[in-house]
Amino acid sequence: VCIHRVRWCSSIRFIKSKYVCVCDKSALKFSHHQRLFRTSAVLRGQIVQFKLSDIGEGITEVTVKEWYIKEGDSVSQFDSICEVQSDKASVTITSRYDGVIRKLHYSLDEIAYVGKPLVDIEIDAAKGVAPEEDVVETPPMSHEEHTHQEIKGHKTLATPAVRRLAMENNIKLSEVVGTGKDNRILKEDILNYLAKQTGAILPPSPKAEIIPPLPKSETVPAAPKDKARTIPVPVSRPIVFSGKDKTEPITGFHKAMVKSMSAALKIPHFGYCDEVDLTQLIWLREELKALAQLRGVKLSFMPFFIKAASLGLLQYPILNAALDESCQNVTYKASHNIGIAMDTEQGLIVPNVKNVQACSVFEIASELNRLQSLGSAGQLGTNDLSGGTFTLSNIGTIGGTYAKPVILPPEVAIGALGKIQVLPRFNGKGEVYRAQIMNVSWSADHRIIDGATMARFSNLWKSYLENPASMLLDLK
């Protein structure tokens, strides 16, 4: 075509220059194209049509149910390509070649025929990586690789992950001794090779000792090898890190958490912490545990903490309030719906016990049991999860002492309970005794709650728990 144009050009004199220009451009285009073509011709292997093999039992057609690869992906021999289904049988089709997928002959749910082409694979004997990478990064090297293959006479077998590792460390696969099946190069082989290069201390794998270094090292240009030999022996092993960052979108529950926590942080928090001596409460609970068990309820410490909090809220109702959006009005909530933070597979959820002010400790315990079993089964309803007015978080069951809990809007206060520790404390007589101490960390909305209120509430709550008999006086 080029020749044809040139001839035409020369016959028309007055516009010759223009045509020459055009010609040149096209000529340029062509040669550029050819150049590209030539380089890639070195790398491009044959395109093979991989046919769907016999399934057995006389089956001639199957439905394609899932593709494991897409066009452009590189595959190794034995990698899974797709899943097909025929009459209650699910078949995994694996690749027979190393190469790059060039065409998928069927889309999902289409019927595929035995004996007909399933995918087109470009067999790339030199490398298993995508051709674009070859052209851009290492054309000269790959040219040698190609020559290598011809000299060596057989493929270098390695999975894409291993090839990537080799490439990242500038290692020629042809120089690595493969110890896998059919001399396949494994990750350990790359690591061994690297260790040898830099003289690092790595226990040599027995196989590598037995097989002598490849004889064709003479045909490799001497430069890289020499360079390797002259590298001084470093003290530390080279860090071979083949991990990759992984980015995922934030969806669902986490997206909602982002929103709610951002709203929470608009509240000016202040913290107040204290320690509570639970020695007496622990003794009391031991007494009552068996009785509760007889009634079919598991009694933990939480029901006591919750009831004590409710008694405290009766005295300091501002802690059970809600501030409206514009901060113009405070609503004192009548019900004490005390939320309990729970850690589930989903993440943090806070179901609440409704109307604690009207519940006995036993009733609270029984309701907690119900919420806990629903929570672990992932069956909590919206009613249980909303309407809370005050929250307690027993992070101490996992660990920790003091915390800085974040208030859950529209509430105005929250308490985090640390773990119970046995610590030495002084009693009234000045003697040291074994005390069971738990730390509590409160956070409150400083726009409507002041430090003194929080401190007094905390003291009251603490006194109920340190001296459980005093709760009896104030129980309604």
Partner 1 sequence: MVLQSSLKNCLQLSCILRTPKAGFRSTSRGGLIIQSISNDVYQNLAVEDWIHDHMNLDNQRVLFLWRNSPAVVIGRHQNPWQECNLRLLRQKNIKLARRRSGGGTVYHDLGNINLTFFTTRKKYERMENLKLVVKALKALRPQLDVHVTDRYDILLDRQYKISGTAAKLGRTTAYHHCTLLCNADKFVLSSVLKSPYEGLKSNATPSVPASVKNLFEEDPSLTCEMLLDAIAEEYAAQHRIDHRITLINPADETVLPGINNKTKELKSWEWVYGKTPKFSISTCFNMVYKDSVLDVKVDMDVKHGRIEVCNIDLPEQWLPPALCSELVKSLTGSKFCPNETTTLASTLLRACPQDDESHSKWNLLCENMMLLM
55 binds partner 1 (CB under 8 A): yes
118 sits in the region (left: phi over 0; alpha: psi -120 to 50; else beta) called alpha
Stated as kind and residue range, the H or E segment containing 237 is none
Closest alpha carbon to 108 in 92, 79, 86, 84: 84
Given the rule CB under 8 A, which of 51-59, 165-173, 205-213, 427-435 is the region that contacts partner 1? 51-59
Catalytic residue among 105, 143, 146, 446: 446
448 binds partner 1 (CB under 8 A): no
Q: Which residue number, 80 or 169, has a Cβ lying nearer to partner 1?
A: 80
Given the rule CB under 8 A, which of 383-391, 414-422, 449-457, 463-471 is the region that contacts partner 1? 383-391
349 binds partner 1 (CB under 8 A): yes
Given the rule CB under 8 A, which of 89-97, 168-176, 394-402, 444-452 is the region that contacts partner 1? 89-97
Q: Which residue number, 312 or 339, has a Cβ lying nearer to partner 1?
A: 339
User: What does the angle CA 211 – CA 216 – CA 219 come to, to the nearest 5 degrees?
Assistant: 155
What character string, x for contact with partner 1 (CB under 8 A) and - otherwise, covers 107-146?
-xx-------------------------------------
Q: Which residue number, 142 or 179, has a Cβ lying nearer to partner 1?
A: 179
**Active-site residue flag, 54:** no
385 binds partner 1 (CB under 8 A): yes
Strand partners, 120: 49, 103
Q: Which residue number, 307 or 333, has a Cβ lying nearer to partner 1?
A: 333
Question: Tokens standing for 379?
Answer: 């069956």
For helices 302-315 and 451-466, the axis angle rounded to 10 degrees is 130
Q: How far is the CB of 112 from partner 1 (least distance, A)?
A: 14
Within residues 1-30, the interface with partner 1 by CB under 8 A covers none
Q: How far is the CB of 412 from partner 1 (least distance, A)?
A: 13
182 binds partner 1 (CB under 8 A): no
Within residues 318-337, the interface with partner 1 by CB under 8 A covers 324-325
Q: Which residue number, 202 or 385, has a Cβ lying nearer to partner 1?
A: 385
Which DSSP letter does residue 71 get?
Answer: T
Q: How far is the CB of 405 from partner 1 (least distance, A)?
A: 14
Count the site residues for partner 1 by CB under 8 A.
50
Q: What is the DSSP string of 258-315?
A: HHHHHHHTTS-EEEEEEEEE-HHHHHHHHHHHHHHHHTT----SHHHHHHHHHHHHHH
Q: Which of 38, 255, 404, 434 binds partner 1 (CB under 8 A)?
A: 255
Catalytic residue among 87, 109, 324, 450: 450
Q: How many CA atoms are closer than 13 Å to the CA of 115, on its beta-carbon side?
A: 5
Q: How many CA atoms are closer than 13 Å to the CA of 205, on its beta-carbon side?
A: 16
Within residues 58-87, the interface with partner 1 by CB under 8 A covers 65-66, 78, 83, 85-87
Give SS3 for 352. Answer: strand
For 356, other C-beta atoms within 10 Å of its C-beta total: 25
C-alpha distances out from residue 178 to 58, 77, 101, 287, Å: 40, 16, 25, 69
**Active-site residue flag, 148:** no
188 binds partner 1 (CB under 8 A): no
Q: Which of 140, 232, 296, 381 binds partner 1 (CB under 8 A)?
A: 381
Which residues, at least 6 apart from 407, have a Cβ–Cβ distance to it below 8 Å?
Answer: 264, 267, 269, 391, 413, 414, 443, 444, 445
Question: Tokens standing for 185?
Answer: 């190069």
CA–CA gap between residue 306 and residue 325 (Å, rounded): 28
Q: Residue 437 — φ and ψ, nearest 5°?
A: -105, 135
Point out the residues that are catalytic. Answer: 446, 450
Return residues touching partner 1 (CB under 8 A): 55-57, 65-66, 78, 83, 85-92, 94, 108-109, 249, 251-253, 255-257, 259-260, 262-264, 324-325, 344, 346-347, 349-350, 377-383, 385-387, 408-410
